[in-house]
Chains A and B, each alone.
Chain A
Amino acid sequence: QVQLQESGPGLVKPSGTLSLTCDVSGGSISNSNWWCWVRQPPGKGLEWIGEIYHSGSTNYNPSLKSRAIISVDKSKNQFSLKLTSVTAADTAVYFCAREADFDLWSGYDNWGQGTLVIVSS
């Protein structure tokens, strides 16, 4: 059973860079299709940030204005999110998730528990 676990600083200063890692256990990161990041500001809905394909190609939400970078480290079986030039509006719970099926979309069937990141001085 694949499990995902987010980690990273819970507090980031304005204009700084938010860096999060999603550790994958119970299976190889190479054996799933898409790996994504989703966030949820306090009391608000879900926002898709972006994703990385097993081949390494990426897609991002243009609303983040090119501030997001998602990468994979296969040697550590983890993938990461960097979000630059953060403001208070980036305060949110950040989730990582995966879509497993190489042949036909099967949904984000595995999610991490989420990690709260607060942007504040």
Chain B
Amino acid sequence: DAKTTQPTSMDCAEGRAANLPCNHSTISGNEYVYWYRQIHSQGPQYIIHGLKNNETNEMASLIITEDRKSSTLILPHATLRDTAVYYCIVRASTDSWGKLQFGAGTQVVVTP
């Protein structure tokens, strides 16, 4: 699976949009982009995923560049409960039924 690069940390103001970048320049055509987050001492939580079109759900929006080499997760109105480590992962749908390899992620701290 392609590797991803994320900033180590980000601070966001409560109520503002949080834009989390992810670089995946070696992504293959059949690889999806997944975002998960992990709140301290809990298991990871699925946020959103996409292949090439932008996606939106009740939690966030995922913007994937046309060349698919990078993406941005957008939390539209960050709250204190969004403080977590956010992981961007790319994986092919044909790869081992969901096997995920986690990188270091981005530590997001939402401040009042």
Q: Do A and B bind each other?
A: no
